[in-house]
Amino acid sequence: MNAVDLINKTKKNVPLTDNEIKWLINSYTAGELPDYQMSAWLMAVCFNGLTEEETLALTYAMRDSGDILHLDIPMTADKHSTGGVGDKTSLIIGPTAAACGVCMAKMSGRGLGHTGGTIDKLESIKGFRTDLSVHEFEDILHKIGFSVISQSDSLCPADKKIYALRNATGTVNSIPLICASIMSKKLATNADVLLLDVKYGSGAFMKSRSDAEKLAAIMEKIGKSAGKKCRAVVTDMDIPLGKNIGNALEVEEAINILRGNERGRLYEICIDLTADILELAGKGNRSECVRMAENAISSGTALDVFRKTIELQGGNPAVCDDISLLPHSRFSYKVKAAHDMKISGFDTEELGMVSLLLGAGRIEKDDRIDMSAGIVMNVRPGDCIMAGETIMTLYSTICSDFSEAAVRAVNAVISEKINYHIPLT
């Protein structure tokens, strides 16, 4: 076999065999296939897609590129989101489900494209480690029931390499590649319960609900075929999830939710998704599981789990009580309304790109992240504001010139001009 033949087959919509896909993945993982050839194949997949059989073979080949976890725990659960702007749900759902008695063993990735990664967010907490050994991971799960581990060289190494390459080559937005990336990691961690949160809308990789439903269907099918209790749900990402975008800023918002200080759309989504996990794990019917999730937050037990997880993974648990211990930016810029306006919505992907410009994500795969960078939204769709009022605030430590980011931020706001003093009908 040779890479050029396989690239050409995918380019011509000729399905690859299971063995050809295994060869491609194993050769790249071993360093025998160069980045430029794998990039060419990934681009061909982006243009032409893969069959369901090819997607399944790709998922298993990536899973089998490394070890598969076999934890000494009766039942574990995992939740994964396909990514979105401001999506910090894992930081809330993980400790909440654990507080309800479900062991949440999560392997996560870093930021990809215009969306942030759970690992990057957690590493904004000083000292927090995700490069845990399997023994450390298992020990934390036994002690508190929630831990997040990053992809190691032994767990799904093919996906770790391909994930970074996709981010740097514009090959992120592809249903089979997203499916194989997510499901190979999920099957490698070998959780018994899998909840898959598939986002759609302007801030997600899947722009249309129909594409999100296709991705959800094939991921759920793969999960069930592997013997897992698996559910894929489709949720909206047409507006940022929560008001904060950026690593430390999102940790701050997650902590405020776990403290019981904030309600709203982010809280409700986290309660619903936690209830899905509890239901799959056999903790009760739907209404019982919703009440359990709500009680875990209102009682403070979910926050206690998060605090203990931070401590066990080397971080400073005091951030749960004093968010000023999180990284804070040196510079900020208020984006203000030029005239009276009613906010109709946002180009959420563009807001993600603004956050990227500020330093909150990676443009190149080896870029360092400014943990303090990001955006705090001051308005929501439906709000009416006067000229001069703040729409959002931009934050950064590495960027002191906000001119480009501010222009793009303004362009990301969808609004209509109004006379604020005339009652709306």
Catalytic residue among 79, 80, 199, 229: 80
Is 5 designated active site? no
For every one of its 425 residues, what pLDDT tens digit does the chain have, with 9 covering 90 and above?
899 999 999 999 999 999 999 999 999 999 999 999 999 999 999 999 999 999 999 999 999 999 998 889 999 999 988 878 889 999 999 999 999 999 999 988 776 555 668 999 999 999 999 999 889 999 999 999 999 998 777 888 999 899 889 978 989 889 999 999 989 988 998 999 999 999 999 888 788 999 999 999 999 999 999 999 999 999 998 899 999 999 999 999 999 999 999 889 999 999 999 999 999 999 999 999 999 999 999 999 999 999 999 999 999 999 999 999 999 999 999 999 999 999 999 999 999 999 999 999 876 666 789 999 999 999 999 999 999 999 999 999 998 999 999 999 999 999 999 886 655 55
Do 175 and 245 lie in one domain? The reply is yes
Give the model's pLDDT for residue 365.
63
Domain with 52 in it: 3-63
Do 234 and 252 lie in one domain? The reply is yes
Give the model's pLDDT for residue 115.
60
Q: Which of 274, 304, 323 is the last residue of a domain?
A: 323
Give the model's pLDDT for residue 98.
98
Asked if residue 422 belongs to a domain, the reply is no
Catalytic residue among 22, 79, 114, 185: 185
Do 141 and 242 lie in one domain? The reply is yes
Asked if residue 178 belongs to a domain, the reply is yes
CATH of the domain at 413: 3.90.1170.30
Asked if residue 349 belongs to a domain, the reply is yes
Do 245 and 382 lie in one domain? The reply is no
Do 306 and 280 lie in one domain? The reply is yes
What is the pairing mode between strands 413-417 and 341-346? Answer: antiparallel
Do 360 and 287 lie in one domain? The reply is no
Give the model's pLDDT for residue 313.
98
CATH of the domain at 121: 3.40.1030.10
Is 307 designated active site? no
Do 128 and 235 lie in one domain? The reply is yes
What span, in angstroms and rounded, lies between the C-alpha atoms of 393 and 375? Answer: 6
Asked if residue 424 belongs to a domain, the reply is no
Do 319 and 333 lie in one domain? The reply is no
Is 133 designated active site? no
Whether the predicted model's global pTM rises above the 0.85 cut = yes
Do 132 and 237 lie in one domain? The reply is yes
Is 396 designated active site? no
Amino acid identity of residue 89, one-letter, is T
Handedness of CA 405, 326, 365, 242 (dihedral sign): negative
What span, in angstroms and rounded, lies between the C-alpha atoms of 171 and 169? Answer: 6
Do 114 and 222 lie in one domain? The reply is yes
Q: Which of 323, 339, 360 is the last residue of a domain?
A: 323
Asked if residue 71 belongs to a domain, the reply is no
Q: Which of 282, 297, 323 is the last residue of a domain?
A: 323
Residue (of 78, 65, 56, 71) closest to 23 by Cα position: 65
Asked if residue 166 belongs to a domain, the reply is no
Do 313 and 338 lie in one domain? The reply is no
Asked if residue 263 belongs to a domain, the reply is yes
Tokens of 268: 């409700």
Residue (of 207, 273, 194) closest to 237 by Cα position: 207
SS3 sequence of the chain: CCHHHHHHHHHCCCCCCHHHHHHHHHHHHCCCCCHHHHHHHHHHHHHHCCCHHHHHHHHHHHHCCCECCCCCCCCEEEEEECCCCCCCHHHHHHHHHHHCCCEEEEEECCCECCECCHHHHHCCCCCCCCCCCHHHHHHHHHHHCEEEEECCCCECHHHHHHHHHHHHHCCCCCHHHHHHHHHHHHHHHCCCEEEEEEEECCCCCECCHHHHHHHHHHHHHHHHHCCCEEEEEEEECCCCCCCEECHHHHHHHHHHHHCCCCCCHHHHHHHHHHHHHHHHCCCCCHHHHHHHHHHHHHCCHHHHHHHHHHHHCCCCHHHHCCHHHCCCCCEEEEEECCCCEEEEEECHHHHHHHHHHHCCCCCCCCCCCCCCCEEEECCCCCCEECCCCEEEEEEECCCCCCHHHHHHHHHCEEEEECCCCCCCC
Catalytic residue among 160, 161, 166, 229: 166
Is 185 designated active site? yes
Residues 6+ apart with CB under 8 A from 322: none
Q: How many domains does the chain have?
A: 3
Residues 6+ apart with CB under 8 A from 326: 124, 125, 248, 251, 252, 319
Catalytic residue among 78, 159, 197, 370: 159
Catalytic residue among 81, 124, 147, 181: 181
Asked if residue 140 belongs to a domain, the reply is yes
Do 318 and 335 lie in one domain? The reply is no
CATH of the domain at 15: 1.20.970.10
Q: How far is CA 69 from CA 76, 105, 152, 186, 392, in A?
A: 11, 10, 12, 10, 43
Residue 20 CB neighbours (<10 A) = 18
